[in-house]
Chains A and B, each alone.
Chain A
Amino acid sequence: MAYDYHRSGSLAEAFALAARDDSALIAGGTDLLVALRKKKRAAPARLVSIRSLPELTAIEAGPGLLRIGACAPLTEILAQPVVRERLPALAQALAVIGSRQIRNVATLGGNLCNASPGADSAPPLLVYDATVELAGTGGRRELPLSEFFLGPGRTALRPGEIMTAVCVPLPVPSAQSVFQRRSRVAMDLATASLAVNYELQGGVLKSVRLAAGAVAPTPLRLRAAESWLEGRAVNEETLAKAVELARGEIKPIDDLRGSAWYRSELIGVFLSRAFRNRKEGDA
């Protein structure tokens, strides 16, 4: 596992090095270094570190939008009042990733680019309609996060491209959102997770977003259940049908963290709870 280690001095330099096929990007390293050690990944000749580039670590709150640098450590993101106040599902998800030691170095971009089906930041970012900024020597582009994940460990990143930021539109103050997750013990990856974001207007649901983790090859939006709930009042029949649709959209597997059946049950329970426990009043 003897590789060279290069700390990029500028984004331009990182782009140039990332484009070489003997190099791999490293941010916090909490996924990559474990994968190298377990020999799940072959060691490249060079690791290109991007964690200290100020362009990639800044967190900027603009009107109606939070732009989170891809290399911002989770602890820094959690420390933002706007995240706790306006993006509660994201705060709930980041707070349970690993341990303090992990969150102090793990980055948001690393969590997404590693593309684990159970990446905990993904479901909340999906329900907030986040987009990701990708850039390389070939230029810059922006993609909805829902189009970023292609499969376990596979993303829309082109060779040499770096994720530079995650942009999260701030929900209207009347929106309600929550992240629920089940794992076997603390510090374990999720067995299943669900993020929900919606508004209640005049007793009916509006702008419903549902996204699940660890129940399919990628984190995914549950669009059939979303459109069923849109415009309907919350009652037991509505929820039962939504749970049925959601279960039809996921593709859970059996593994050491739980069976496909259990994962499907969890998604149903999370979904029902998210709407039953809604705050009263529909301002």
Chain B
Amino acid sequence: MKVPLRFLLNGREVALEVQPHARLLDALRDYAGLTGTKEGCGEGECGACTVLVDGRAVNSCLYPALEAEGCAVLTVEGLVSAQGGLSELQQAFVEEGGAQCGFCTPGMVMSAAALLSENAAPSDDEIREALVGNLCRCTGYTQIVASIRAAAQKAGKAQS
């Protein structure tokens, strides 16, 4: 038997009917049709499924969908501008080579978005610490850290 679930998805109110045991990951991909969020391990290890719930990064594979009731959920689709352009953070991943196969990228970008919202000018160590829960099999991480550093610097310049 399905149960109702309402929450704010990338700023828009959504009303879904989900299985009670559905994960937030399932609600996003299978019920809301947003497939940017990926499933890697399904066990909290890889971070490919990272989304923000009320501003905090969580593994959507370990997050019961029903716990999102009334919350604000942000996925990688929510970062793009209304005109469909990439955000500065996403653009930095493109420019700095922060994505190769791209499977880990939505999770990486969401972890980075959570970090930058708390700390606008993180050190490289702080960037690495924020990415402990995000695995990448391709890039070697150096370009990912560089992407986030570049995005922070660009945002810093725009501020001043």
Contacts and interface: CB of A to CB of B under 8 A. Distances in A.
Interface stretch (B54-62, B83-91, B96-104, B142-150): B54-62
A104 B56 contact: yes
Given A5-B21, A49-B64, A37 B43 contact: yes
A53 interface: no
Contacts of B57: 100-101, 104
Contacts of B19: 2
B42 interface: yes
B130 interface: yes
Contacts of B133: 98-102, 187
B66 interface: yes
Given A1-B21, A3-B21, A5-B20, A98 B67 contact: no
Given A105-B63, A186-B132, A98 B56 contact: no
Contact of B63 (A4, A29, A187): A29
B47 A101 contact: yes
B59 A101 contact: yes
B47 to A, nearest CB: 6
B40 interface: no
B3 to A, nearest CB: 8
Interface residues of A, number: 27
Nearest to B65: A5
A186 B64 CA distance: 25
Interface string A1-30: 111110100000000000000000010011
Contacts of B134: 99
A4 B20 contact: yes
A100 B64 contact: no
A38 B66 CA distance: 21
A26 B64 CA distance: 10
B44 interface: yes
A47 B22 CA distance: 12
Contact of A104 (B43, B47, B58, B132): B58
Contacts of A52: 67
B80 interface: no
A65 interface: no
B90 to A, nearest CB: 20
B111 interface: yes
A148 to B, nearest CB: 25
A75 B56 contact: yes
A30 B133 CA distance: 13
Given A2-B21, A4-B20, A187-B45, A100 B132 contact: yes
A280 B129 CA distance: 31
Question: Considering residues A5, A30, A100, which has the most beta carbons from chain B within 10 angstroms of its beta carbon?
Answer: A100
Lowest 8 CB-CB distances: which A-B pairs, in order?
A: A99-B133, A5-B20, A104-B56, A101-B133, A99-B132, A101-B59, A186-B132, A101-B57
Given A26-B64, A100-B57, 4 more contacts: A4-B20, A33-B23, A100-B114, A101-B59
